[in-house]
């Protein structure tokens, strides 16, 4: 068996970001705090799966969930400092994709 030389922290980071929908949720929250319904309407994802991913990202310390004691209760999700630190990463991915990724309809 060949032993990996990949840094365990790098492996964990790519595992988190590559989990389906996580990167898109983080990217959506880069524009600021949002309510569940706003995130859900902007992504083609079920509410159940979105809820699951938000909980996972919260447990990783990437997003925070704030409950406002209003009637009805308002809940907002926002990126933590750890999540906001990904802003440059996402900007570079966007830059790279514009230069190197070609969609089928672009022929």
pLDDT in tens, 40-66: 999 999 999 999 999 999 999 999 999
Within-domain flag for 34: yes
Within-domain flag for 45: yes
> What pLDDT score does 104 carry?
85
Question: Among candidates 87, 85, 75, 70, which has minimal Cα distance to 27?
Answer: 87
Find all residues with CB under 8 Å of 78, minimum gap 6, and list them.
29, 32, 33, 34, 63, 64, 66
Question: Among candidates 66, 60, 43, 47, which has minimal Cα distance to 9?
Answer: 60
> What pLDDT score does 106 carry?
74
The answer to whether the pTM exceeds 0.85 is: yes
Residue 23 in this model has a pLDDT that exceeds 60: yes
Residue 37 in this model has a pLDDT that exceeds 70: yes
Q: How many domains does the chain have?
A: 1
**Domain extent at residue 47:** 11-99
> What pLDDT score does 68 carry?
94
**Residue 15 maps to which CATH number?**
1.10.10.10
Within-domain flag for 104: no
Within-domain flag for 75: yes
């Amino acid at each position: 068996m060949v032993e990996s030389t990949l840094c365990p922290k790098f492996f964990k980071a790519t595992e988190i970001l590559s989990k389906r929908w996580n990167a898109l949720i983080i990217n959506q929250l880069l524009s600021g705090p949002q309510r569940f319904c706003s995130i859900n309407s902007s992504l083609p994802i079920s509410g159940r799966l979105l809820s699951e991913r938000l909980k996972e990202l919260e447990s990783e310390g990437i997003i925070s969930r704030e409950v406002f004691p209003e009637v009805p209760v308002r809940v907002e999700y926002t990126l933590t400092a750890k999540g906001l630190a990904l802003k440059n990463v996402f900007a570079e991915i966007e830059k790279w994709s514009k230069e190197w990724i070609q969609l089928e309809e672009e022929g």
